[in-house]
């Protein structure tokens, strides 16, 4: 294979980065060129740097076709390397857009409401989970995981054109107020209100989503993403 043009080289680099490969995957790509990974990139390199140096070395050796084929194999056979076709982000984007449509009948808050509330009542997330919401340790771990995962997927979905996320947070805050009225903090645990909020959100979804394995994770992500903005669980 002849060497890639600078434009084609840049396209391959971007393709590798978009796949969000693990360290072992990058090491496999390096070894594919007949070299130790540390001979191509320093151990402190980030993924963008690794992708750049791997493609540069492959192009020097006229072996970019090997990288292309191996990358396709990784995506085809490794279920964790799924971001190439963005299926998870698409599923998440569709869920929250459809959920938003179902919640539209609720009274609207404004974006100024959400900004004011976020500024005036902001608390560090871990501190909030422990001292304000008084979640158990296991629930706090669940919250942090789903909040972080939600942030990543939300960014991917936004790049794909799903952009109405702030409106979901407004609706979740409104929905939570009804849960709080029915299950006040003095009488019920935060876990009980979390369960009730999750059930209420499920009730607004079609059967298509209720049968999807990832739906609960997506809803937890939405809930804890909203909580991280100090819009709910402020007791």
pLDDT above 80 for 65: yes
Q: How confident is the model at residue 119 (pLDDT cuts 50, 70, 90)?
A: very low
Across the range 15-37, mean pLDDT stands at 84
pTM of the full predicted structure?
A: 0.60
What percentage of the chain reaches a pLDDT higher than 90?
31
pLDDT at 120: 41
pLDDT at 85: 46
Q: Which CA distances in Å does 141 have to 124, 147, 152, 159?
A: 15, 10, 17, 28
CA distance 64 to 221: 38
Q: What digits encode the pLDDT tens for the residues 75-116?
A: 655 545 444 446 677 778 888 888 988 888 765 554 445 444
Instruction: Give just the sign of the alpha carbon dihedral 92, 97, 102, 108.
Output: positive
Q: SS in 3 state form for 74-131? A: HHHHCCCCCCCCCHHHHHHHHHHHHHHHHHCCCCCCCHHHHHHHHHHCCCCHHHHHHH
**Cβ atoms of residues 114 and 52 within 8 Å:** no
pLDDT at 24: 78
Please identify which residue in the block is written with the tokens 């390397």: 81
pLDDT at 118: 46
Single out the residue of 228, 92, 217 nearest to residue 153, CA to CA. Answer: 92
pLDDT at 203: 93
**Cβ atoms of residues 159 and 234 within 8 Å:** no
Please identify which residue in the block is written with the tokens 């995962």: 149
- Write out the two tokens for 201: 């959100």
Q: How confident is the model at residue 58 (pLDDT cuts 50, 70, 90)?
A: very high
**Cβ atoms of residues 15 and 51 within 8 Å:** no
Phi, psi of 230, rounded to the nearest 5 degrees: 60, 40
Q: What digits encode the pLDDT tens for the residues 167-213?
A: 888 899 999 999 999 999 999 999 999 999 999 999 999 888 887 77
pLDDT at 61: 92
What percentage of the chain reaches a pLDDT higher than 70?
85
């Amino acid at each position: 294979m002849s060497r890639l043009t600078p434009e084609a080289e840049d396209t391959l680099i971007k393709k590798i980065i978009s796949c969000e490969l693990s360290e072992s995957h990058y090491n496999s790509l390096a070894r594919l060129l007949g070299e130790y990974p540390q001979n191509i990139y320093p151990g402190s390199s980030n993924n963008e740097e690794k992708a750049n140096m791997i493609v540069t070395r492959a192009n020097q050796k006229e072996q970019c076709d090997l990288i292309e084929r191996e990358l396709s194999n990784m995506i085809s056979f490794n279920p964790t390397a799924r971001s190439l076709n963005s299926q998870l982000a698409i599923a998440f984007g569709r869920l929250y857009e459809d959920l938003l449509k179902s919640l539209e009948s609720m009274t609207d808050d404004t974006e100024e409401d959400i900004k004011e509330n976020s500024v005036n009542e902001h608390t560090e997330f871990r501190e909030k989970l422990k001292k304000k919401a008084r979640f158990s340790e296991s629930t706090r771990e669940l919250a942090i995981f789903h909040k972080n995962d939600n942030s990543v997927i939300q960014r991917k979905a936004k790049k794909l054109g799903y952009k109405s996320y702030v409106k979901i947070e407004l609706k979740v805050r409104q929905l939570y107020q009804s849960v709080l009225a029915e299950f006040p903090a003095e009488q019920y645990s935060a876990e009980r209100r979390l369960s009730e909020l999750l059930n209420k959100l499920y009730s607004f979804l079609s059967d298509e989503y209720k049968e999807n394995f990832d739906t609960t994770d997506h809803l937890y992500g939405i809930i804890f993403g909203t909580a991280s903005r100090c819009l709910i669980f402020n007791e």
